[in-house]
Structure 1
């Protein structure tokens, strides 16, 4: 039979364990809240994209990582790094944001290549970001050493950075635009997904050919092959679905938003390509009730 002292010790230890768990959960929630805030700020740099570039990179990178057998904590790090990979571009001028790297003059390109370093500095104060910082810092590195900022090669590049680097190139090639006005609440007119696929077919084929040719030279072969497999299958499945304009209160989880929608301040609140969940549907209903979103939106069902 346990004596009183042992029982007290056990109770005290249970209290300590509970306190530690509560503190851990509180810190974890604070960390995730900070991620959300930073992700919202990054969206301010994405006005020249169809949809949210950072969300696309995060979600697609996770899909690739899972297919490559990466698990658990590393998946979370890749997801967060995908969301925050362009945080170093906050404050960049529109002249930089709408151009591709090939279109920049030497001075612009020099500034552009600083964004991984800027991101590293922004995130350096929080130890939670250590591995995430490393992925972000290296996402423009290339296997042959031609990338930046450190000209790393092969296995010196973090596997998460290799994944994000490929998805970043893919999304930039297909979904980056030259004009803000052309994407601001200007719904696509389509009755099926075939017209959506047709508008990106040429770019899709071009970027896939480029990535395939550069696999093993600039980009990790397994990452490129996995992206090609995922995107080819998704486009095939998309061709079998229908675009509908539905009231927000009739949306259901699993539907995909078919256009970009902005609030009165020009901030993206619903991005093309996002898959609806119960939480996002509730948020969209609130936006519509506050006249920040049309009562009917385009979705792929």
Structure 2
């Protein structure tokens, strides 16, 4: 009977996970003028936002099927939704997750980097930079609820978060695997990984394009928790309560102290980084490699 009662409680928590936060000791802020209605979802075509103003938390879900590739449109909509939440003082934390089954994000959209002109490549890369910059130094608590495969750019997004929770499924691999596609991860991808798992582990992971199983990702420190698939969101909400118990100003200043040097490195070299990307991606050999890979993907789908 006790087990049955526990199952019913867990079931209710999963159906209404905000109860986990509302029952925790969290400083709440009264909704400000123009704040998001806690009872309503909002968002864009590719980013769904489920806010709870009373708890001060929003869940942001990527919904760019089939694999949540980071297209220019998704990046733009993601930044707009993030900015909306950051400007609303009601919200103190965001959980990033996926609305697409079995995939968190497959990473950068290769079609944005193949067969286009240099101006488009520059625009796309600037958007990738902008998302990373905003996420990595966000004043909000960011928790990645990784409910699917998480390679390349998907892994980068999770690395910008303050805490990462991965579903325990052997199909849900995570890592920066750019070298497998003949692409070099830029220095700020590398810096983010080094800050998370250390230099030697990053050196091997980046050169070999390693994709880690959940248990391996936990062991190396790429994620902070591995939990059953049906407990990813509820765990994220529970963890969020712990982070939000810390006074915002102290946590934010500490986060800035830890991460600003990494961010400043990109800010100082942002234009050069864009030029390097455009030059690299425009090479005939790289374009041919990307085209071949995209053709293989089309054949698999067929």
**Band the TM-score falls in, shorter-chain normalisation:** under 0.3
Structure showing greater radius of gyration is: 1
More strand as a share of residues: 2
TM-score (norm 2): 0.27
TM-score (norm 1): 0.27
